[in-house]
Amino acid sequence: MAIEGAEIVKAAAFIGAGLAMGLGAIGPGVGEGMVAAKACEAIGRNPKEAGLLTRTMLVGQAVSESTGIYSLVVALLLLFVV
């Protein structure tokens, strides 16, 4: 079976998309979990500020999410555009 160059490129793009999203999901998942753990600690220490702490947690997590979204974008580009 002769495999053409374009065929190998497509196969590599699929594997690459899987790895990009898969490995890219590790960091944000762990990082956002740390944020949530510390937010729980903060609310435990100072429950009166729960609203402010929830807002801070969500903003921090949104920033930490960005690399996960980059991975998603790259994976979708590899799947549909390249």
* Residues at the site binding other proteins, with contacts judged by CB under 8 A: 1, 3, 7-8, 10-12, 14-19, 21-41, 43-45, 47, 50, 53-54, 57-58, 61-62, 65, 68-69, 71-72, 75-76, 79-80
What is the Cα–Cα distance from 48 to 54, expressed in whole angstroms? 11
> Measured at the alpha carbon of residue 28, what is the angle toward residues 25 and 34, in degrees to the nearest 5?
135
CB of 33 to other proteins, least distance (A): 2
- Minimum distance from residue 45 beta carbon to other proteins (Å): 8
Minimum distance, C-beta of residue 29 to other proteins, in the bound complex (Å): 3
Between CA 8 and CA 57 the distance in angstroms is: 44
Rounded Cα distance between 15 and 27, Å, is 20
The SS3 of residue 75 is helix
